[in-house]
Amino acid sequence: MNTLTLTARTAGALYLVYVIVHIVADVMGRAGTIIYGDAATTAANIAASAGLFKVGFVIDLIAAALFLLTAWALYRLLKPVNPDVALLFLLLNLAGVAIQCVSDIFLFSSSLVLSGVDFLRPYAADQLQALAMAFLYLYKNGFQIAQVFYGLWLFPLGYLVYKSGFLPKVLGIVLMVHCCTWSATALQFFLFPGFTAITYLSWPLGFVAEVGLSLSLLLMGFRAREPQRAVVA
């Protein structure tokens, strides 16, 4: 197995594992637990599943690390096509991962203020619930900011997939289109929070683009040949 094939399979495996781990983090740590705007119910939910909530938080951090490792593997794979564009998508991914990890601090803080630690006993229960909800909103907004960078990294990635010569060109096109829809979804959250139409297009397109890329790298890695170098004007 040559180096290029091994790198392609590594990138595909990391990408697929990241997707699975990210879904598990959502299901275990947040699905049905956080009800934005209802501090009392959310606090009760977190208290009732405190251990699972923390496990979800840890899995979320693991997912972020896996995503960064995926970007690094893709950088190694696609750098010969165009090193500048490859560095661009790596930096955009790094920015998104960093912002996501910072937002996770607020997710953890929400459970901390509801944990009954001694130094918070002077505060009333409703005050702690309100503070926990504030932390959750900070987490939610930070996570959406990270999505802007996660959207932007898809365009240079899609461009290099298109130019690579060993991955399907149509997949590169889908990734570049998904950059536009995913970035629009993130911006829509801040500018038009009540408008969710773009989301219904973005999610299925994202599944096709990113899961399709991971499977292509895994299943087609053995067919990989040296990538074509982009002509720099």
Per-residue confidence at 219, pLDDT binned at 50, 70, 90? Answer: confident
Quick check: is 23 in a domain?
yes
Quick check: is 186 in a domain?
no
Q: Which domain holds residue 12?
A: 3-143+210-220
Convert the pLDDT of each residue in 82-118 to its tens digit: 999 999 999 999 999 999 999 999 999 999 998 878 8
Domains contained in the chain, number: 1
Convert the pLDDT of each residue in 171-214 to its tens digit: 999 999 999 988 888 888 888 877 777 777 787 888 888 888 99
Quick check: is 7 in a domain?
yes
Quick check: is 57 in a domain?
yes
Quick check: is 177 in a domain?
no
Strand stretches in the chain, DSSP E: none
Convert the pLDDT of each residue in 13-69 to its tens digit: 999 999 899 888 877 667 778 899 899 999 999 888 888 888 888 999 999 999 999
Quick check: is 15 in a domain?
yes
Q: What is the pTM of this model?
A: 0.86
Distance CA 135, CA 140 (A): 9
Average pLDDT, the chain: 87
Quick check: is 110 in a domain?
yes
Please report where in the chains the tokens 């781990």 appear, as a residue: 21
User: What pLDDT shows up at residue 103?
Assistant: 95
98-105: long-range contacts (C-beta < 8 A, 24 or more apart)?
A: 99/142, 99/145, 99/146, 99/149, 100/64, 100/142, 100/143, 100/146, 101/61, 101/64, 102/142, 103/138, 103/139, 103/140, 103/141, 103/142, 103/143, 103/145, 103/146, 104/57, 104/60, 104/61, 104/64, 104/139
Quick check: is 204 in a domain?
no
* Residue with the larger pLDDT of the pair 31 and 225: 31
* Residue with the larger pLDDT of the pair 118 and 161: 161
Q: For the residues 78-85, what does the mean pLDDT come to?
A: 95
Q: What is the dihedral of CA 167, 170, 173, 177, to 10 degrees?
A: -120
Question: 112 and 135 in contact (C-beta within 8 Å)?
Answer: no
